[in-house]
Amino acid sequence: METSSRRKFLVSALGMIGAAFAGVAAYPVFRYLSPPAMDKDKGRVSISRAQVGVGQAYFFQFQGHPAVVLQKTPGVFVAFSAICTHLGCIIKWLPEKEEFLCPCHAGRYATDGKVLGGPPPKPLPTIPVALSGDNLLVG
């Protein structure tokens, strides 16, 4: 009987050690596959209202990608991704035409992000903008 109880103990101990190793090995895989936790304010960018004049665009980085904020009329701000939806080129602002232009394939976007012409298949993705005193909170 002593051999049987030793064997049961060894099998149980090796099983627990194996389970611990499996947990340690699975944790990095779980962290890689799970989406990152985002703080609500962490993804926001604060921009001074003075940097964005009426009819002017201000380009900045939003969550690691180019973005643009535009003051269409006094106090009315809109923000978009600055990446063309056609092939991913960076758009530029044409103040004389009051539209965005993709320099790669002449895609044109209106001040609301909608496609005016060219090959882009869809409008520019919008980014929320909120006013906070003398600052714009984008994101």
> How do the residues of the chain divide into helix, strand and coil, expressed in percent and rounded to 5?
25, 35, 40
Helices and strands, number each (H, E), in the chain: 1, 11
Amino acid at 14: L
pLDDT at 132: 84
Is-above-0.75 flag for pTM?
no
Query: Which residue's structure tokens are 């409008």?
Result: 123
CB distance 52 to 58 below 8 Å: yes
pLDDT at 1: 53
pLDDT at 36: 64
Domain boundaries, the chain: 1-34, 45-138
pLDDT at 107: 92
CB distance 67 to 57 below 8 Å: no
Class of domain 45-138: mainly beta
List the chain residues with pLDDT less than 70: 1-3, 35-42
pLDDT at 139: 82
DSSP character for 49? G
79 strand-pairing partners = 69, 127
